Amino acid sequence: MIKSTITIDVVLDEKRMPEAITWNASDTSTENTQKAKAMLLAFWDGEEKTALRIDLWTKDMMIDEMADFFYQTMMTMADSYDRATQYQDQVDEIKKFAHDFYHKFQNKQIQNKKQ
């Protein structure tokens, strides 16, 4: 059996807001600690049939970065769901939602710049 360990470190300010997020994994070719501005971590509790989540982002995470992060995460979730189920119709719906979400964000940014 092979065991891999993922370590996540979060530096908090005096108000317990994330200032820095770093992570590393034992089963990777990269030995350096990786920096991140945001993270979404989810676990499935099979007994309780509930998702357990940790969502964190640092103070310097920009709104446009958050939109990119969510868009890319939704697209990756669609790909994972496809590999797990091969339910292409639902995969297409998730990807369409992700595209619509991102276009709405872009339109808001354009409107905000005009104001």
- pLDDT over 90 (residue 47): yes
- pLDDT, position 113: 82
What mean pLDDT comes out for the span 34-48? Answer: 97
The Cα–Cα gap between 47 and 9 comes to 28
In this predicted structure, the answer to whether residue 30 has a pLDDT above a threshold of 80 is: no
Per-residue pLDDT reduced to its tens digit, 55-66: 999 999 999 999
Looking at the chain, the whole-number percentage of residues with pLDDT higher than 70 is 100
Furthest C-alpha separation in the chain: 59
> What mean pLDDT is predicted for residues 79-86?
98
Cβ atoms 49, 38 nearer than 8 A? no
Domain spans of the chain, in order of start: 1-60, 62-115
